[in-house]
């Protein structure tokens, strides 16, 4: 197995010389999947259980262990937190995250672009034939999961965020099985020796620790939001727990923010060569990754006509702004171009800082009120049902 070929990183060995222990661990992770989730999917096929039946069992808490014993074992395992888990710290991380929830939701585009630059990350999408299609649905589904999993109280075993995370864990295993066993009947079996395992431990850890944790905090800082060191550690703990439930082994999960930041920094040292699939996904995201129909309260035909003008402007703006937080060689290779529009972040910063001053002085209400308002705004924008008040009763 050649890690450089799998990842597209031309300087893999050079980065390893600088960070031998971490890069060796990343290389091992390229050939590691999630054995417990894979066993569930294998048993699903063996016992002729449908995917919808499997999801129904997840929703019901695996109420019939005799049907799929491996699913019962996975859910039992995911319900028993590891020794390092601190529920109060994870709850504090959720509250810190959602004080700026609307802004954190907007960083999802950058998180996706962060993954798209890596060949190994996009190869499973390319192999399933879903590149330029279903972009908005993919963005919204990911956004809904992040909103569900990070809500205060939502990652307790059996809670909505926890259940949603288990569903994604099993979906990843289903995709692995589909590719490795050629369930689609294309005759093109996944070449694990040349490409690594699809949705492997390394890319899963980079997605959690880099794309969903460190990068959003970098974007937030650029916009003028300040997190204390305690808040950063709490948010890191929350995402570590989410990563563990979604099937990332402890060996690859950062234990603190310094570890996550190191992982992010080392990943940035790799000289990646985004391929055609990376460019296709990025173009589709910039062109179709937002919902004008729900954002503009006007009749559909009017919005469609306005979109002819608005979409190119949004695409150019997102492209330029994204270059602020990506290595320039990779950004250029993916078709992202920096223009003066990247200064929109600088223009927005005073308003964001003013909002933080108002929040800190209590003029926006209590922390509970702020978190509840942010949750309500984001969930409504994503077409999600209102969150029950229960998980927020401990806030404040």
For residue 8, the model assigns a pLDDT of 85
- What CA–CA distance (Å, rounded) separates 127 from 135? 16
Tokens at residue 386, please?
A: 């209102």
Tokens at residue 58, please?
A: 């997840």
Asked whether the CA dihedral 354, 359, 361, 363 is positive or negative, the reply is: positive
**Regions of the chain where pLDDT drops below 50:** 298, 302-303, 393-396
3-state secondary structure the chain: CCHHHHHCECCHHHHHHHCHHHHHHHHHHCCCCCHHHHHHHHHHHHCCCCHHHHHHHHHCCCCCCCCCHHHHHHHHHHHCCCCCCCHHHHHHHHHHHHCCHHHHHHCHHHHHHHHHCCHHHHHHHHHCCCCCCCHHHHHHHHHHHHHHHHCCCCCCCCCHHHHHHHHHHHHHHHHHHHHHCCCCCCCCCCCHHHHCCCCCHHHHHHHHHHHHHHHHHHHHHHCCCCCCHHHHHHHHHHHHHHHHHCCCCHHHCCCCHHHHHHHHHHHHHCCECCCHHHHHHHHHHHHHCCCHHHHCCCCHHHHHHHHHHHHHHHHHHHHHHHHHHCCHHHHHHCCCCCCHHHHHHHHHHHHHHHHHHHHHCCCCCCHHHHHHHHHHHHHHHCCCCCCCCHHHCCCC
Q: Average pLDDT over the chain, rounded to whole?
A: 87
- What CA–CA distance (Å, rounded) separates 110 from 212? 9
Phi, psi for residue 388 in degrees, rounded to 5: -60, 150
For residue 393, the model assigns a pLDDT of 44
Question: Residue 362's beta-bridge partner residues?
Answer: none
For residue 133, the model assigns a pLDDT of 67
User: At a CB cut-off of 8 Å and minimum separation 6, what does 267 contact?
Assistant: 206, 210
User: At a CB cut-off of 8 Å and minimum separation 6, what does 107 contact?
Assistant: 215, 216, 219, 220
**32 and 201 Cβ atoms separated by less than 8 Å:** yes
Per-residue pLDDT reduced to its tens digit, 251-273: 999 999 999 999 999 999 998 88
Q: CA angle, 240 as apex, 193 and 30 as ends, to 5°?
A: 5
- What CA–CA distance (Å, rounded) separates 51 from 47? 12
For residue 132, the model assigns a pLDDT of 60
Tokens at residue 374, please?
A: 């942010």
Q: CA angle, 123 as apex, 211 and 78 as ends, to 5°?
A: 55
For residue 12, the model assigns a pLDDT of 94
On the CB side of 28, CA atoms within 13 Å amount to 9
For residue 5, the model assigns a pLDDT of 85
What is the C-alpha R_g of the chain? 21
């Amino acid at each position: 197995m050649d890690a450089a070929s799998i990842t597209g990183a031309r300087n893999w060995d050079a980065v390893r010389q600088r960070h031998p222990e971490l890069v060796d661990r990343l290389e091992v992770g390229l050939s590691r999947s999630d054995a417990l989730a894979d066993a569930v999917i294998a048993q699903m096929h063996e016992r002729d259980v449908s995917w919808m039946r499997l999801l129904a069992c997840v929703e019901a808490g695996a109420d019939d262990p005799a049907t799929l014993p491996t699913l019962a074992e996975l859910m039992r395992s995911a319900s028993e937190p590891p020794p390092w888990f601190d529920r109060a710290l994870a709850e504090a991380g959720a509250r810190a995250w959602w004080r700026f929830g609307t802004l954190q939701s907007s960083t999802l585009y950058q998180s996706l672009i962060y993954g798209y630059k890596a060949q190994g990350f996009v190869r499973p999408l390319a192999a399933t034939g879903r590149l330029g299609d279903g972009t908005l649905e993919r963005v919204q589904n990911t956004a809904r999961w992040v909103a569900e999993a990070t809500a205060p109280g939502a990652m307790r075993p059996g809670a909505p965020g926890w259940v949603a995370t288990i569903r994604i864990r099993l979906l990843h295993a289903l995709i692995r099985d589909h590719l490795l066993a050629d369930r689609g009947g294309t005759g093109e079996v996944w070449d694990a020796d040349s490409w690594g395992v699809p949705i492997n431990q390394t890319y899963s850890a980079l997605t959690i620790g880099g794309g969903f944790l460190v990068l959003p905090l970098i974007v937030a800082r650029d916009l003028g939001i300040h997190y204390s060191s305690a808040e950063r550690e709490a948010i890191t703990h929350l995402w570590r727990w989410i990563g563990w439930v979604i099937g990332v082994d402890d060996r690859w999960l950062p234990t603190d923010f310094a570890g996550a930041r190191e992982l992010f920094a080392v990943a940035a040292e790799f000289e990646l060569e985004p391929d055609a699939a990376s460019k296709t996904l990025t173009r589709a995201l910039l062109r179709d990754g937002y919902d004008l129909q729900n954002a503009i309260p006007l009749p559909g035909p009017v919005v469609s006509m306005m979109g002819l003008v608005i979409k190119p402007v949004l695409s150019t703006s997102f492209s330029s702004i994204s270059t602020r937080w990506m290595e320039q060689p990779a950004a250029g290779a993916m078709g992202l171009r920096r223009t003066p529009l990247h200064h929109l972040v600088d223009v927005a910063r005073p308003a964001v800082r003013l909002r933080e001053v108002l929040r800190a002085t209590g003029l926006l209400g209590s922390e509970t009120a702020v978190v509840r308002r942010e949750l309500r705004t984001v969930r409504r924008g994503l077409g999600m049902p209102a969150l029950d008040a229960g998980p927020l009763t401990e806030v404040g």
